[in-house]
Amino acid sequence: MKFSLLLPTRKRPQQLRKLIESILLTTHNIKDIEIHLAIDDDDIQIQDTAVVLKDQYKLCNLLIHMRPRGNSIVTHYYNWLALHFCQGKYLMVLNDDTLFRSQDWDKNVYNRLEEYLKDKPDGLVLGISEDLDSDREVHNDYLVCGFPVISKESVETLGFLLDPSFMMATSDDDICKLYATIDRVVDLRDILVIQHHPPEFKDLDVKYAWFQETTYSEIMEIPVLPKTVAEMRFFLDKRISLLIQRMIKVRT
């Protein structure tokens, strides 16, 4: 299996259908990918939609995973899927308010990542997609995207897909900076466009809260949730300095 697409979804049946259809329309070889849906056991509407989609698109390897409602999209959904179910060589983070825009993305992304890793036997890599989100913060020292592609070897090395220190906000910033620090980022923006908040969803948007507010103090031993950009940067840098040692050990 070449790709595992990780997709937590809640209360957005129409968006989910459109996303699955966009994957089917743009994928070169649908047998090379698996789509993992993480669904809350209290979300009957999405459960029913997922069953219909699985039956309707039999060529699509759509896997349905039910779980109790979690309060961290990183730990209880993305990392849960990555560590327990995914078989793909590369794992891709997705939201249910996205659409695939690049034709033959799977063939092109796989070939580029394989070429990049030819002289890197540890297999550590993160690929940057284009999410067409104009509201995203611009970073001068490293690229950031909301929907990265990360090798399974990287997940096994770190013990997670996304840093569990973060419940949702800035988890993409954190993971992109981590791989940039060890110079293991591949730019895929010309061959992998995953549009966030596409215009097709303008009248379908359903607002909901993924998690209850809490602090990061249990993991980082800091007294309160960072509230300013400066505080968040300090937190990011401190966390990354710890993780980077784990990745360097694998490379040497």
Sole residue written with tokens 């060529």: 59
* The pLDDT value given to residue 207: 52
> Is residue 203 pLDDT above 80, yes or no?
no
β-partners of residue 35 are 5, 62
Percentages of the chain per state (helix, strand, coil), in multiples of 5 = 40, 15, 40
Q: For residues 179 and 135, which has the higher predicted lDDT (pLDDT)? A: 179
Average pLDDT over every residue of 247-252: 56
* Residue (of 166, 171, 167) closest to 148 by Cα position: 171
Sign of CA dihedral 118, 107, 143, 244: negative
Largest CA distance in the chain: 51
Q: What is the pTM of this model?
A: 0.84
Both tokens of residue 124? Answer: 């550590």
Question: Is the Cβ–Cβ distance between 251 and 185 less than 8 Å?
Answer: no
3-state DSSP of 50-90:
HHHHHHHCCCCCEEEEEECCCCCCHHHHHHHHHHHCCCCCE
Residue 87 CB coordination number (10 Å) = 14
Q: For residues 12 and 37, which has the higher predicted lDDT (pLDDT)? A: 37
Burial of 32 (C-beta count, 10 Å sphere; 0-12/13-18/19+): middle
* The pLDDT value given to residue 224: 40
CATH numbers and ranges of domains, the chain: 3-251 (3.90.550.10)
Question: Is the Cβ–Cβ distance between 62 and 37 less than 8 Å?
Answer: yes
* The pLDDT value given to residue 220: 36
β-partners of residue 34 are 4
What's the pLDDT tens digit per position in 110-158? 999 999 999 998 898 999 999 887 555 555 567 888 899 999 999 988 8
